[in-house]
Chains A and B, each alone.
Chain A
Amino acid sequence: SQTIHQWPATLVQPVGSPLSLECTVEGTSNPNLYWYRQAAGRGLQLLFYSVGIGQISSEVPQNLSASRPQDRQFILSSKKLLLSDSGFYLCALQGQGFNTEAFFGQGTRLTVV
């Protein structure tokens, strides 16, 4: 079965510091991978998705970037965090094709202070 690992579970970072959140998946090959953010009182917003190694698409302009160095690894980064980057970050995967189920990790709670 498919498994998504996200770490850390919680993170407190000062404004202006760098960020690296890692997501690794198991039990699947060549998945589509996604980063979503859930801000307080708001719905989940898609930030980035990737259909393959080195292929990144951004949904919204922002202070963050994403990379996919390996098939089952998806990284969310920032060079300098802003207060507005605070939120709950979720990694998700789907198999290839448009009618496959999406599965989510347990998320990382990021607080920028």
Chain B
Amino acid sequence: KQEVTQIPAALSVPEGENLVLNCSFTDSAIYNLQWFRQDPGKGLTSLLLIQSSQREQTSGRLNASLDKSSGRSTLYIAASQPGDSATYLCAPGRGQTGANNLFFGTGTRLTVIP
């Protein structure tokens, strides 16, 4: 069974700082990995999808990398802003009878201080 760990569990940084969130997973037989953000009491917002054949993916100030063989992914956030405060979740996906089921850890809660 896929186990996902995200370190650190919580992170507080001053505005403008660059930061890295870490994700590790136990089963490297994945099709892709997706990063999400979740605001308190809300659903998940997709940030980036990295296919298993890719090494990294970029969207604006976000850059995600994937090392499938070692079971690791990182999310780099450049020039952090208070609006980036949220819980960040990584979710490796594994195909199963036509579906791509995602597995989640408990996330990293990020606070960006103005």
On A, residues with C-beta under 8 Å from B are 4, 6, 32, 34, 36, 41-46, 49, 51, 57, 59, 90, 92, 94, 96-107, 109
Contact = CB atoms under 8 A, between A and B. Distances in A.
B15 to A, nearest CB: 28
Given A32-B99, A46-B101, A51-B98, A41 B106 contact: yes
B106 A43 contact: yes
B99 A51 contact: yes
Interface in B44-93: 44-46, 49, 51, 89, 91, 93
Contact of A107 (B31, B42, B93, B102): B42
Given A98-B31, A99-B32, A101-B49, A46 B107 contact: no
Interface of B: 4, 31-32, 34, 36, 41-46, 49, 51, 89, 91, 93, 95-107
Contacts of B89: 43-44
- Which of B32, B43, B96, B107 has the largest count of A CB atoms less than 10 A from its CB? B43
Given A44-B89, A51-B98, 20 more contacts: A4-B43, A34-B102, A42-B106, A43-B4, A43-B89, A43-B104, A43-B106, A43-B107, A44-B102, A45-B104, A46-B102, A57-B97, A90-B44, A92-B102, A98-B95, A100-B100, A101-B46, A102-B93, A104-B36, A104-B45
Per DSSP, chain B at the interface is strand
Contact of B42 (A57, A94, A103, A106): A106
B98 A32 contact: yes
Contacts of B107: 43
